[in-house]
Chains A and B, each alone.
Chain A
Amino acid sequence: MFNRRILLAALALGIAAAAPASAQEKSIVVSSTTSTQDSGLFGYILPLFKSKTGIDVKVVSQGTGQALDTGRRGDADVVFVHAKSQEEKFVADGFGVKRFPVMYNDFVLIGPKSDPAGIKGSKDVGTALKTIMAKGAPFISRGDKSGTHSAEINLWKASGVDIEKEKGPWYKSIGQGMGAALNTASASSAYVLADRGTWISFKNRGDLIIAVEGDKRLFNQYGVMLVNPAKHPKVKKDFGQLFVDWLVSPEGQKAIANYKINGEQLFYPNASDAGA
């Protein structure tokens, strides 16, 4: 008797979980980066979008490389990432309809307060990176093909270093997200490149501080694209396009600018800058 009741309850649970999602559901899947999610930006702007349109935005947050791949497979309706050259390739290959610049913030080079490389306060990120390498100070790399990882590789390249060839035991590639990289840097007193949004909202800083900021090479642009319905007919193109349009509209841009933590603005809208 008792057993039968348990079995029935379990069956009911199973059926509830297995029931297919309603086909009429107004929702889209957006694959985006860990920085937009971990910084809390989506938590702030998505309710505004939903109250206007009634569309639920389901965010899958991944590194930029993986987020673009999710779009390429047709598993997302919209891709919202930060690696302009990869985004342009995504559109050129026919996976995205059109890329729109949305907003920017910047990268910061984070390091331990003790500053073993002696680069604190520098405005030249190239020299700072070369000094880290010369002194063999510990450095954490995302190593996950994310937007921040490609930015890091480009910065090494711009300062004349082929990091794949010249890295030593001081350079640790962890293959994880921004938060995990910051946690690792915090636990091992290492330098790490981070986007400012994640840094501002990150809570386990320990001894970490901003070592280098303000170099214009640290600029970090975000773009958004609708996944091409011609490649993937199941893409919810109407709802997806509404979201893209809203992000670049004056209303969406204002919502982005209004997102602050402790009075500090995290992202700067620039949809009107066509070249961004």
Chain B
Amino acid sequence: MTGDVSALQLVLSGDPGLFAIVRLSLLISLSAVLFAGLIGVPVGAFIALTLFPGREGVIVVLNALMGLPPVVVGLAVFLALSRSGPLGSWGLLFTPQAMVIAQTVLVAPIIAALTRQTIEDLWVEYRDELAAMNIGPAGRVATLVWDARFSLVTALLAGFGRAAAEVGAIIVVGGNIEGFTRTMTTAIALETSKGDLPLAIGLGIVLIFIVILINALAWAARRAGERTAG
């Protein structure tokens, strides 16, 4: 298949355009996972460990939000950041920052929901011990998040997978501007619309390869960490 060849040639020749696209894709999706993790992990852990009225409802909604359609998130962020929208003065529409915001909104519920599940399962094991040690709510969140850190890597990877794969949100808020907001997925959408299907599928293969590489690195880090932690 010629697609593999042309995309492979691009990679091997160190094509600066392709390199910039890959770099931007990673920068945006990893930043979004970082911010979503900073929001999602504490929120998920808090919900897991706290009893409050309407908790079950919150859990159902959180689980449902894992399936947020990217294009709807994109549209909502677009309307907020548009110069005619409430946050228009920030001037962020059609920038990489807008893409990070959209993906953060998309990914945070996934990380929060998976964190909630992980921590709650762990809580069952630790409950008596922590109660005996008389540790307060904040301390419980910190202890359990720390002890669950290797399992939480999976939650972050699920978030990263979602971010790296989506095109619906970032093409709306980023505008797919060449050399500025064009990522792997929006480039694939563009090449498809130009009828250059071999190049599109070639870029797709490169994307899948990169996602596998990131997952392998995370896996290795988790293994190394588990060994050190004994």
Contacts and interface: CB of A to CB of B under 8 A. Distances in A.
Interface in A167-202: 176-180, 182-183, 186, 201-202
Given A179-B192, A204-B195, A232-B83, A13 B177 contact: no
B18 interface: no
Interface stretch (A17-25, A117-125, A212-220): A17-25
A61 interface: yes
Interface stretch (B64-72, B95-103, B137-145): B95-103
A58 B83 CA distance: 16
A21 B95 contact: yes
A16 interface: yes
B228 interface: yes
A73 B83 contact: yes
A115 interface: no
A43 B190 CA distance: 14
B97 A60 contact: no
Interface in B55-103: 82-85, 88, 91, 93-97, 100
A14 B228 contact: no
Contacts of B194: 38, 179, 201-203
Contact of B100 (A18, A73, A205, A234): A18
Given A73-B82, A182-B195, A14 B94 contact: no
Nearest to B85: A73
Given A60-B94, A60-B176, A178 B31 contact: no
A13 B31 contact: yes
Interface in A47-104: 56, 58-61, 73-75
A140 interface: no
A6 interface: yes
Contacts of B228: 1-2
A29 interface: yes
A10 interface: yes
B31 A205 contact: no
Interface string B205-226: 0000000000000000100110
A258 B176 CA distance: 26
B27 A17 contact: yes
Contacts of A234: 83, 88, 91
A73 B84 CA distance: 5
B50 interface: no
A75 B149 contact: no
Given A203-B194, A205-B195, A61 B83 contact: no
Contacts of B95: 21
A232 B83 CA distance: 8
Nearest to B79: A73
A11 B149 CA distance: 17
B196 A18 contact: no
A179 B193 contact: yes
A33 interface: no
A14 B30 contact: yes
Contacts of B193: 34, 38, 176-180, 183
A232 B89 CA distance: 11
Contacts of B175: 29, 58, 60
A74 B89 CA distance: 11
A3 interface: yes
Given A73-B82, A74-B82, A74-B84, A58 B100 contact: no
B35 interface: yes
A13 B34 contact: yes
A43 B31 CA distance: 30
Per CB-CB distance, the 6 closest pairs between chain A and chain B, nearest first, are A179-B193, A204-B195, A74-B83, A60-B175, A17-B31, A73-B84
Interface of A: 1-3, 6, 10-11, 13-14, 16-18, 20-21, 29, 34, 38, 43, 56, 58-61, 73-75, 176-180, 182-183, 186, 201-205, 232, 234
28 contacts: A2-B221, A2-B224, A2-B225, A2-B228, A3-B225, A13-B27, A14-B30, A17-B31, A17-B96, A21-B95, A21-B97, A43-B178, A56-B180, A58-B94, A58-B180, A58-B181, A60-B175, A60-B177, A74-B83, A74-B88, A75-B93, A202-B194, A202-B195, A203-B197, A204-B197, A205-B195, A234-B83, A234-B88
Given A58-B94, A73-B82, A203-B194, 20 more contacts: A6-B221, A13-B31, A14-B35, A16-B27, A29-B175, A29-B177, A38-B194, A56-B180, A61-B176, A73-B83, A75-B82, A75-B83, A75-B93, A176-B193, A177-B193, A178-B193, A182-B195, A183-B192, A183-B193, A203-B195
